[in-house]
């Protein structure tokens, strides 16, 4: 017997719930509550979130398409573990997107936006001191997302978020490295200073430099992680930071 088709209202409700489930799983990934390689149990998720299994299944399918989880036949759904090659590729792409965002934002940023970013950085640094990585990580995500959002380029923002969502699988590691917090805060301040000058090239370089610095810290963290089965010293060095030509002397 053919099952009855879902009504438009039922379909909309399922899609809405699926989005909420997806956001909750993403929140757990960002918070480090789900370890790479962990199995995501459909039944447990549906019971914990008090929804049927259908929206959970849809959310997991969407996360699979986004490259965050993998489906193993007869075993279930697992949070992906990124190889060193994938990490290098994601950081390289992120650096390019961030540089573009800096170049677009510098000429258009206003005083209100500068003040907003200053407040965000102050909150970020305070949370980092008070709560460590658990305080730093969500506010850092929000700060960078806001930078890209301020460019007004919706396509850039969409691409940026897709890349960053996959980077959540590895980025918490780098913050645990000694000195990472101070280095990251210093790079944030340089970004804001460059944006305030309105210099597109300087802002783009500062944002690219921050991503490259984050990649270097991630390399260090992964190099000291014996539990990482995919670590390959020949790959983890990744692409060298792009060098800019020296300014000509007058």
Residue 14 pLDDT: 47
In the sheet where 69-72 sits, what is the strand order? Answer: 39-40, 76-79, 69-72
Question: Within this chain, do residues 98 and 111 fall inside the same structural domain, yes or no?
Answer: yes
Q: pLDDT grade, residue 19 (50/70/90)? A: confident
Question: How much of the chain exceeds pLDDT 90, in percent?
Answer: 47
Is the CA virtual torsion 190, 160, 238, 242 positive or negative?
negative
Residues 33-89 pLDDT 10s: 888 889 999 999 999 888 889 989 999 999 999 889 999 988 999 999 888 899 999
Question: Within this chain, do residues 112 and 30 fall inside the same structural domain, yes or no?
Answer: no
Q: Report the run of H or E that residue 77 belongs to, with start and end.
A: strand 76-79
In the block, residue with structure tokens 């460059």: 194
50: in domain = yes
Calculate the average pLDDT of the chain. Answer: 82
Q: pLDDT grade, residue 217 (50/70/90)? A: confident
The CATH number assigned to the domain holding 200 equals: 1.20.120.530
Residues 56 and 28 sit within 8 Å (Cβ to Cβ): no
Question: Within this chain, do residues 89 and 37 fall inside the same structural domain, yes or no?
Answer: no
Measured between its terminal Cα atoms, the distance across the chain in Å is 83
18 exposure class (CB count in 10 Å sphere: 0-12, 13-18, 19+): buried
Range of the domain at 152: 84-224
Per DSSP, the three-state class of 78 is strand
Q: Tell me the sheet residues that pair with 237.
A: none
Per DSSP, the three-state class of 72 is strand
Residues 56 and 96 sit within 8 Å (Cβ to Cβ): no
The CATH number assigned to the domain holding 70 equals: 1.10.10.10
The pLDDT of 96-102, averaged and rounded, is 98
3-state helix, strand, coil in the chain (%, to 5): 70, 5, 30
Question: Within this chain, do residues 105 and 202 fall inside the same structural domain, yes or no?
Answer: yes
Among 60, 79, 98, where does a domain finish?
A: 79
Residues 102 and 204 sit within 8 Å (Cβ to Cβ): yes
143: in domain = yes
6: in domain = no
Question: Within this chain, do residues 91 and 151 fall inside the same structural domain, yes or no?
Answer: yes
Q: What is the count of structural domains for the chain?
A: 2
The pLDDT of 27-35, averaged and rounded, is 84
Q: Which tokens hold the place of 59?
A: 């959310």
Q: pLDDT grade, residue 241 (50/70/90)? A: very low
Q: Which tokens hold the place of 186?
A: 């210093």
Question: Within this chain, do residues 94 and 208 fall inside the same structural domain, yes or no?
Answer: yes
Among 46, 79, 112, where does a domain finish?
A: 79
230: in domain = no
Question: Within this chain, do residues 110 and 61 fall inside the same structural domain, yes or no?
Answer: no
Question: Within this chain, do residues 75 and 88 fall inside the same structural domain, yes or no?
Answer: no
Residue 176 pLDDT: 52
Question: Within this chain, do residues 88 and 195 fall inside the same structural domain, yes or no?
Answer: yes
7: in domain = no
Question: Within this chain, do residues 93 and 192 fall inside the same structural domain, yes or no?
Answer: yes
218 exposure class (CB count in 10 Å sphere: 0-12, 13-18, 19+): buried
Work out the angle between the directed axes of helices 84-105 and 180-197 (0-180°, nearest 10): 30
Question: Within this chain, do residues 107 and 215 fall inside the same structural domain, yes or no?
Answer: yes
Task: Report the length, in residues, of the chain.
Answer: 250
Is the CA virtual torsion 55, 61, 66, 72 positive or negative?
positive
Per DSSP, the three-state class of 15 is helix
Q: pLDDT grade, residue 222 (50/70/90)? A: low
Question: Within this chain, do residues 47 and 136 fall inside the same structural domain, yes or no?
Answer: no
């Amino acid at each position: 017997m053919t099952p009855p088709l879902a009504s438009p209202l039922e379909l909309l409700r399922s899609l809405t719930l699926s989005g909420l489930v997806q956001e909750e799983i993403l929140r757990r990934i960002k918070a480090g509550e789900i370890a790479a390689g962990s199995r995501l149990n459909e039944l447990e998720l549906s019971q914990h979130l008090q929804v049927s299994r259908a929206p959970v299944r849809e959310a997991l399918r969407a996360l699979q398409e986004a490259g965050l989880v993998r489906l193993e036949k007869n075993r279930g759904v697992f949070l992906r573990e990124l190889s060193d090659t994938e990490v290098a590729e994601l950081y390289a792409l992120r650096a390019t997107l961030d540089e573009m965002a800096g170049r677009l934002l510098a000429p258009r940023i206003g005083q209100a936006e500068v003040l907003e970013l200053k407040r965000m950085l102050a909150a970020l640094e305070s949370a980092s001191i008070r709560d460590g990585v658990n305080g730093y990580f969500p506010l850092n995500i929000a700060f960078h997302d806001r930078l890209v959002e301020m460019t007004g380029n919706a396509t850039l923002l969409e691409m940026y978020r897709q890349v960053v969502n996959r980077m959540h699988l590895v980025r918490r590691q780098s913050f645990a490295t000694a000195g990472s917090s101070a280095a990251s805060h210093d790079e944030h301040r340089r970004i804001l200073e460059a944006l305030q000058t309105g210099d597109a090239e300087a802002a783009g370089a500062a944002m690219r430099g921050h991503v490259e610095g984050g990649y270097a810290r991630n390399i260090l963290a992964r190099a000291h992680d014996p539990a990482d089965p995919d670590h390959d010293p020949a790959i983890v060095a990744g692409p060298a930071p792009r060098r800019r030509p020296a300014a000509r002397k007058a």
